[in-house]
Amino acid sequence: DDVQVNAYRLHAAQADGHIVRGVVEAASEPDAGARLVERGLYPVRLAETVQTSRPAASRRDLAIVFRSIAALVVAGVPLERALAASDPVARGPLKAAIADARRELLAGRTLSQGLTAAHGVVPAVVVGMVRAGERGGRLAPALDEAALHLEQEAELVAQVRQALAYPLVLAV
């Protein structure tokens, strides 16, 4: 299940001969070609793209978004709609990561796979918590635990910053 997924830039022909361009994610180049054929496209050119990592989102922003998603899923809202509803509270690289995760979900992938595709925006420990929840059939509690973990991390970061700032105030 933990297959490395790569992005492939594509040029493919439709049945009418029209050329389409885009990106497809797959475990390998042959897998990418097979995915295109399944969609009725004929690969003309596939090239693996170089993945750059995005800047990590702040723990506070992550905590807010994951708390929102968790609350909605616990209330019985489908995951895809919970992601869409949580989009307005996300900002910066996290907003793009949530939108990408939602697209991945709509394409039939899991939330953890979608979050992994965000390339560094969501910490690996949080992705692991979500993956464990998916595999154990307990996604809602896993999202809730991830939100709690992120809130605690954000609080710890704030306390450390405050503790480091205090000696600077005394030195002035």
Residue-wise pLDDT for 31-81, tens only, equals: 888 888 998 989 998 888 765 556 778 888 999 999 999 999 999 999 999
Least confident of 92-96, 139-143, 147-151: 92-96
Q: Which long-range contacts (CB under 8 A, 24 or more apart) does 72-80 make?
A: 73/139, 73/140, 73/143, 74/140, 74/143, 74/144, 79/105, 79/111, 79/139, 80/105, 80/106
**Residue of 48, 34, 43 lying closest to 11 (CA atoms):** 43
Instruction: Please state the separation of Cα 99 from the chain's center in Å.
Output: 8
Name residue, tokens 């700032």: 165
Q: What is the pLDDT of residue 4?
A: 66
* β-sheet bridge partners, residue 42: 13
Report the length, in residues, of the chain: 172
Tens-digit pLDDT profile for residues 105-134: 998 889 998 888 777 888 889 999 999 999
Q: What is the pLDDT of residue 93?
A: 87
Distance CA 109, CA 49 (A): 20
Distance CA 5, CA 33 (A): 14
Check: CB of residue 130 under 8 Å from CB of residue 123: no
Can you count the helices (H) and strands (E) in the chain? 7, 3
* Sheet strand arrangement including 19-26: 19-26, 6-13, 42-48
Instruction: Please state the separation of Cα 89 from the chain's center in Å.
Output: 15
**Residue of 93, 94, 71 lying closest to 81 (CA atoms):** 71
What token pair was written down for 89?
């509270």
